[in-house]
Amino acid sequence: MKQIRNFSIIAHIDHGKSTLADRLIQHANLVDARQFRDQILDNMDIERERGITIKSQTVNLPYNSKKGEEFELNLIDTPGHVDFSYEVSRALASCEGVLLIVDASQGVEAQTLANLYAAMEHNLVIIPVINKIDLPSADIDRVKDEIEHELGLDAETVLLCSAKEGTGIEDIFEAIVERIPPPKGDIEKTLTALIFDAHYDSFRGTIVSCRVFDGRVKPGDTIRLMAMGTAYKVEEVGYFRLKMESKKELSAGEVGYLIAGIKTVSDTRIGDTVTLDTMPAHKPLAGFKEVKPVVFSSIYPIASDDYLSLSDALEKYKLNDAALVYQKDSSAALGQGFRCGFLGLLHLEIVQERLEREFDQSIIMTSPSVQYRFYLTDGRILTVDNPAYYPDPAVIEKAEEPYIRASIMIPERYVGAVMKICMERRGVNSHLNYPTAGRVEIAFDMPLAEVIFDFYDRLKSITQGYGSFDYEIIDYRESDLVKLDILVNGERVDALSMIVHRERSRERAVKACESLKDEIPRQQFKIAIQGAIGGKIISRSTVAPYRKDVTAKCYGGDITRKRKLLEKQKKGKKRMRIVGSVEIPQSAFMAVLKTDSE
Amino acid sequence: MDPPGLYVHIPFCKTKCPYCDFYSVTDLSALDAWLEALNKEADMYRDVFGIFDSLYLGGGTPSLLDNRQMETLIKMIRRCFAFTNDVEISMEVNPDDVDVEKLKCWHDCGINRISIGVQSFDDDELVFLKRRHSATGAKRSIEHVVSVGFENFGIDLMFGLPSQTEDILISNLEKALTFEPKHLSCYQLTLEKKTPYGRLKAEGRIKPLSENKEKRLFALTSAYLKSKGFIHYEISNFAKAVQYESRHNKKYWQHIQYLGLGPAAHSFNDNKRWWNCKSVDRYCKDISKRIKPIDGFEILSDEQLRLERLLLGFRTKFGVAIRDVKDNQSFEQTLLRLQRRRIVKVVNDKIVPTVKGFLIANRLPQMFF
């Protein structure tokens, strides 16, 4: 068997994972310096702007070791956000080892821990790497100490590098070939390959990234996707070296892509097992699960004429994002649209941005909601992710909402403040852990609904950026839920309704009215904004009317300037929606959920 | 097609008014050089436009030209361009410059419409505005204008000064009407950013009136003048009868072509607009090198033209053609709402703003985007 090493890079967000990946690629001489763009693996604009990796991509790196041996290293890139933790777990299942990156000044963070645990679950060899040692604020001794005590890894094994400056890269390559074991697997056995990623190409259809565990696969083979129960004829296999390079076959231990006339990404499932249709494996590889959306929101076109265009855009977008689910929805205020399910809030924002940017859609997104369960008096159980379908309170026997286990890491001095916001957000079962002096890990059970919106932003701001956060969904728990309606000039705007906990309802209503007051532009008449539960008004604010805006003169020299102003307003107007007689900007639909103003 | 209008910018003032954002200089030594350059600029546009039916001398302060300069100016304009027999020749006049000799000269030159920049008949307000004349001086000037035989004259007033009350405003209007002008321009004081008063406003040293007060003064002006038989035909302009509406200014508001000569003047032709540099010095230099002293230009798309028709139309009683807005999906709903609130009326195929509409003329276009 060829000398192969399969590995991933894992890190807390912003610790330099993508920069290191770029360095490794550059070092492998796959590209000359002129072609080299920063962060080659993050090939989408949004990712580049946000500095996070959303879709993982794999690259095959040739490497000649110091001992003179030839290796092929497969770097399997992983998404760097908690919304995509299942995708991360499948990428890790395809590796034998990981580089665990820790920022030389930030040290160990919540996602460092979460990533480490995930890697340990897969029995991977872990190579700790301290990155950004060039920073003036780098504190290598402290971070080594944290790696030893908080992560339980041997400080002697830690490598030092600066991906930005390109120092320490050779040592990393050597450690990969020395410490990470070669993949096991039997080329003679029947084919089992794990799908860990898929993306859509308009010319080739779906390109599936997979790790072959046993057997081999080549063009002409008929493969079967075990969970989907579908069969396809393989057209091409190969690996990525910045572009796709086809090969005769992929065999046990190898990582690469396969193209088999699969129409859309949604026809595949990450975590599914590929086997041969003629000689299928007895059982699929372990760990497959269907990812389920946890955050829901409706998308409406700003101009209702654009419904068909939005429908078309969503269909196209969906080709490349199996995690997004959507169905038709309609609102009295906003007309026809789509109810969409997302893996998390970041996923939601990505979908929103890509629809606007790549598909040129002007959309309104309603405030996100989680999925509630209502047990009705007639024995039925109703699952509701859209406040519009909140049942008649008289027939609700009990209600439940999803809970998460939040894990927060902070310097000790912020414990009080962080405990406070967690309690405010109905956190229970707190648990404190002191991994090293001065640092605290806080765990809380909290309703998902309380963290989906601005919890992370709040945490960042009260800890001055030192707080880090990770969560997993644990269960559903009983909860006293009511529907909060928002009335604008006496008209209920269904798209602004939300389901909230009864004890929090008054406070949420007051805050929603306040935020809306700032978001809704003044108009010629007074606008009353009210929060109501059932028929009862519990909060109120007013947008003062706009009376006069005339400027005295308009002659030859004034016209261009005035028109340019209008053109600017026209752009802004694209983000407004008229409800009743009031113009409501897109931002208002999100602002109702903001729980704290800065 | 409507005949084009000709504008000449006379970029000189004896003193600068602290609220004014039109281009002018107070160094009068370049006046003759400017006049010579103007002659050449006029020559450059000799056959570009057709026959003009309006000529407007604006500024700056056109009335500070002496009689020889004024005669030269009119002569060369007439040599380069053709005018209709009924041409309207308007001129802005500073009361302080007026004497019977000058008035006679202007009259002989063919000037048949005069706007007198009185601004106020209240001496305190005139001091605030740093005008050269007093209330008494202004009155005397108007009397001269009438006595020389200018039948079509108008008075320019300002309202909304920080200290202005409704009483002062009405008193100003009453005094103006005693002279039986055919036209009134009532400009709301606007503290433009790049003016001395704009800076004082930014520093908090001049406090503009509240929105509500401005609104009341505007509505009062309109109601009062209408009760005296005036037509409120543009936000700031009132005419005693249709024939006294400014033929020239309507060209700006109705996208009729115009040629502007002189520094900082704007021109418009079909879908092109261009403007001269805001510098007497550069203006003269460019022209001496036989290049047009143009500082910028734009070619307007159909959509840009439509936007301008909205922004201009809602400032006048001529309104906006329904065909310009009916592509908007919520057009009917918006229109009904605005009609119900008496912000606009529908007259034939036009949406016409009421006084309430004038008040929010800047906001009306976006409702129909």
Asked if B266 lies within 8 A of A559 by C-beta distance, the reply is yes
Q: How far is the C-alpha of A306 from the C-alpha of A312, rounded, in Å?
A: 10
Residues B299-316 have a mean pLDDT of 94
Asked if A548 lies within 8 A of B307 by C-beta distance, the reply is no
Asked if B330 lies within 8 A of A559 by C-beta distance, the reply is no
Residue closest to A369 by CA, chosen among A502, A499, A503: A499
Q: How far is the C-alpha of A376 from the C-alpha of A579, rounded, in Å?
A: 33
Size of interface A-B (CB pairs under 8 A): 103
CA distance B236 to chain A (A): 6
A184 Cβ neighbours under 8 A, 6+ residues apart? A253
Q: How far is the C-alpha of A334 from the C-alpha of B55, rounded, in Å?
A: 53
Q: Is pLDDT larger for residue A78 or for residue B237?
A: B237
User: What is the per-residue burial (b if ≥16 Cβ within 10 Å, else e) of A526-550?
Assistant: ebbbbbbbeeeebbebebeebbbbb
State residue A399's pLDDT score: 95
pLDDT digits (tens, 9 = 90+) for B163-221: 899 999 999 999 999 999 999 999 999 988 889 999 999 898 999 888 889 989 999 99
Residues A104-113 have a mean pLDDT of 85
> Which residues pair with residue A273 across a beta bridge?
A194
pLDDT digits (tens, 9 = 90+) for A399-438: 999 999 998 888 888 999 999 999 989 999 889 988 777 7
Cβ–Cβ under 8 Å, residues B306 and B313:
no
Cβ–Cβ under 8 Å, residues A314 and A326:
yes
DSSP symbol at B28: G
Strands A372-376 and A381-384: antiparallel
Q: What is the C-alpha radius of gyration for chain B, rounded to an integer number of angstroms?
A: 21
| Long-range CB contacts (within 8 A, 24+) of B86-89 | B86/B53, B87/B52, B87/B53, B87/B54, B87/B55, B88/B53, B88/B54, B88/B55, B88/B112, B88/B113, B88/B246, B88/B247, B88/B248, B89/B54, B89/B55, B89/B56, B89/B57, B89/B113
Q: A-chain residues within 8 Å CB-CB of B190? A: 551-553
Strands B294-299 and B272-276: antiparallel
Structure tokens at B315: 């400032």
What sign does the dihedral B341-B342-B343-B344 (CA atoms) show?
Answer: positive
The interface predicted TM-score (ipTM) is 0.92
pLDDT digits (tens, 9 = 90+) for B12-56: 999 999 999 999 999 999 999 999 999 999 999 998 899 999 999
Q: How far is the C-alpha of A76 from the C-alpha of A254, rounded, in Å?
A: 12
pLDDT digits (tens, 9 = 90+) for B93-107: 999 999 999 999 999
Asked if B359 lies within 8 A of A551 by C-beta distance, the reply is no
Q: A-chain residues within 8 Å CB-CB of B193? A: none
State residue A95's pLDDT score: 94
Chain B nearest-CA residue for A551: B190
Residue closest to A344 by CA, chosen among A1, A82, A101: A82
Neighbours of A38 (CB within 10 A): 9
CATH fold for domain B5-253: TIM Barrel (3.20.20)
Residues in chain B: 369
State residue B237's pLDDT score: 97
B164 touches chain A (CB under 8 A): no
State residue A55's pLDDT score: 47
Q: What is the C-alpha radius of gyration for chain A, rounded to an integer number of angstroms?
A: 27
CA distance A565 to chain B (A): 10
Q: B-chain residues within 8 Å CB-CB of A577? A: none
Cite the residue boundaries of each domain of chain B with CATH code 3.20.20.70. 5-253
pLDDT reading at A586 higher than 80: no
Asked if B330 lies within 8 A of A578 by C-beta distance, the reply is yes
State residue A331's pLDDT score: 84
pLDDT digits (tens, 9 = 90+) for A446-498: 999 988 867 877 887 888 777 778 788 899 999 999 999 999 998 888 888 99
pLDDT digits (tens, 9 = 90+) for A172-211: 999 999 999 999 999 999 999 999 988 888 888 889 999 9
Asked if B362 lies within 8 A of A549 by C-beta distance, the reply is yes
Neighbours of A138 (CB within 10 A): 19
Closest partner residue to A557 (CB to CB) among B211, B275, B366 is: B275
Closest partner residue to A547 (CB to CB) among B308, B333, B359 is: B359
pLDDT digits (tens, 9 = 90+) for B319-329: 999 999 887 76
CA distance A526 to chain B (A): 13
State residue B18's pLDDT score: 94
Candidates B164, B195, B252, B302: best to mutate against A (most CBs of A within 10 A) is B252
Express as a percent the part of chain A with pLDDT over 70: 92
**Against a cut of 0.90, is the pTM above it?**
no
Chain B 303-322, residues with CB within 8 Å of chain A CB atoms: 304, 307-308, 310-312, 315
Peptide bond into B60 cis (omega under 30): yes
Residues B283, B287, B293, CA angle at the centre, nearest 5°?
A: 50
Cβ–Cβ under 8 Å, residues B306 and B324:
yes
State residue A82's pLDDT score: 65
State residue A568's pLDDT score: 81
pLDDT digits (tens, 9 = 90+) for A360-377: 888 888 888 999 999 999
State residue A380's pLDDT score: 94
pLDDT digits (tens, 9 = 90+) for A149-172: 888 899 999 999 999 888 999 999
